[in-house]
């Protein structure tokens, strides 16, 4: 018998709460005997600056390009259009909740913004190359530098600013990008796997390295870097016609694409280690998002999910409900009744429920090196 919607939500919530409580106990923020009340995760106001693509974009593409993503986008939590490509919250939203801070306002949004807890420079569709393309990672970092310089200029004149010099100095700088780069690298040109790794990866990784260094030399000392996810488990990739299922692994994901993502993350982690030893005073944390998301897909039922590889919102029905000609919100699309049973929202992005599990695993610190709590930057 299929689990009810209430049962699925309860399992997801229980998993996330258990992970967050374990982190709190380990950090001494709450007693494991139940006798103490949890203390605030931060000793000072948390400030976060985020960079990346649609996995982190909280409305930047809507503000920057005038795009409108109506319901069912946002239906599971916000119940309105927010510019997020999700039925609710993204991973960054859940992480912000863990710090008891407001959701990050998009840098490009002119109305109703609140930058007191930082700003979100991530834009849907963003990549690292070409570096001067609109909303690339390099451009996002340049936008941040402008934001900081302008803030400090106004502060020097005695004007009120949402983030002061101390706020910038103690802030967390989060980068989550590369999925679009890898998707393009493995989808165009017909290059063999080894050639993609050898010819395409260096430029992508070089841009992320340059972004970390640019932020550091602009005063950043706390950097949180996410690896890319399991590209071969996206319904969008699985829906591409194939001659046979020889490239599928035991979880139904494409082995070649996931091997590429694993290699990319391995090289990115090495870059983070290298920069950690070179940039004096910097704390650079690398988080293995591929391991987190693959575990969620491979063991989906233990997290309360029924459909790990089929999009909730799309067209075409099983096994992937993804049609390259009819995307979510496209003419004739169909949306599932209960997104909490699905890992994938639209074939590319995760559901609110899946993002909650991913965030919980990030907060556990088990997938990060060094193993620091997400709140380390604001708890000292």
* Sequence-distant (≥ 6) Cβ neighbours of residue 157 within 8 angstroms: none
Alpha-helical runs (H) found in the chain: 5-27, 60-65, 91-98, 137-156, 165-170, 179-187, 193-199, 201-217, 235-238, 255-278, 289-298, 352-364, 376-379
Helices (H) and strands (E) in the chain, counts: 13, 8
Pairing assessment for the beta strands 283-287 and 368-369 based on DSSP bridges: antiparallel
Q: How far is CA 225 from CA 131, 174, 307, 335, 352, in A?
A: 19, 6, 28, 33, 21
Distance CA 293, CA 299 (A): 10
Instruction: Say how far apart CA 246 and CA 255 lie, in whole Å.
Output: 9
Q: Return the residue matching tokens 């290298």.
A: 274
Active site amino acids: 54, 346, 349
């Amino acid at each position: 018998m299929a689990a009810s919607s209430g049962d699925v939500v309860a399992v997801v919530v229980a998993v996330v709460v258990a992970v967050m409580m374990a982190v709190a106990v380990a950090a001494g923020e709450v007693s494991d005997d139940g006798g103490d009340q949890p203390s605030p995760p931060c000793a000072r106001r948390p400030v976060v600056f985020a960079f990346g693509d649609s996995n982190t974009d909280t409305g930047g593409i809507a503000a920057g390009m005038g795009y409108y993503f109506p319901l069912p986008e946002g239906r599971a939590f916000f119940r309105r259009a927010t510019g997020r490509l999700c039925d609710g919250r993204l991973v960054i939203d859940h992480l912000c909740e863990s710090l008891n801070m407001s959701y990050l306002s998009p840098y490009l949004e002119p109305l109703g913004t609140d930058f007191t807890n930082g700003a979100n420079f991530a834009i849907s569709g963003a990549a690292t190359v070409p570096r001067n393309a609109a909303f690339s990672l390099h451009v996002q970092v340049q936008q941040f530098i402008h934001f900081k310089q302008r803030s400090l200029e106004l502060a020097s004149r005695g004007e009120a600013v949402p983030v002061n010099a101390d706020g910038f100095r103690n802030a967390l700088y989060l980068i989550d990008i590369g999925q679009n780069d890898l998707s393009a690298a493995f989808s165009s040109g017909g290059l063999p796997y080894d050639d993609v790794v050898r010819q395409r990866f260096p430029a992508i990784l070089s841009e992320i390295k340059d972004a970390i260094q640019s932020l550091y030399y602009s005063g950043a000392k706390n950097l949180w870097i996410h690896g890319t996810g399991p590209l071969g488990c996206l319904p969008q990739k699985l829906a591409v016609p194939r001659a046979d299922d020889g490239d599928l692994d035991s979880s139904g994901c494409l082995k070649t694409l996931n091997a590429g993502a694993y290699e990319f993350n391995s090289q990115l982690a090495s870059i983070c280690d290298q920069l950690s030893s070179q940039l004096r005073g910097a704390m650079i944390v690398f988080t293995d998002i591929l391991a987190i998301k693959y575990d969620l897909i491979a063991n989906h039922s233990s997290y309360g999910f029924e459909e790990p590889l089929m999009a909730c919102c799309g067209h075409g029905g099983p096994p992937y409900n993804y049609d390259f000609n009819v995307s979510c919100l496209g003419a004739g699309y169909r949306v599932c009744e209960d997104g909490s049973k699905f890992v994938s929202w639209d074939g590319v992005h995760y559901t609110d429920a899946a993002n909650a599990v991913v965030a919980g695993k990030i907060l556990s610190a088990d997938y990060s090196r060094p193993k620091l709590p997400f709140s380390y930057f604001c708890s000292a």
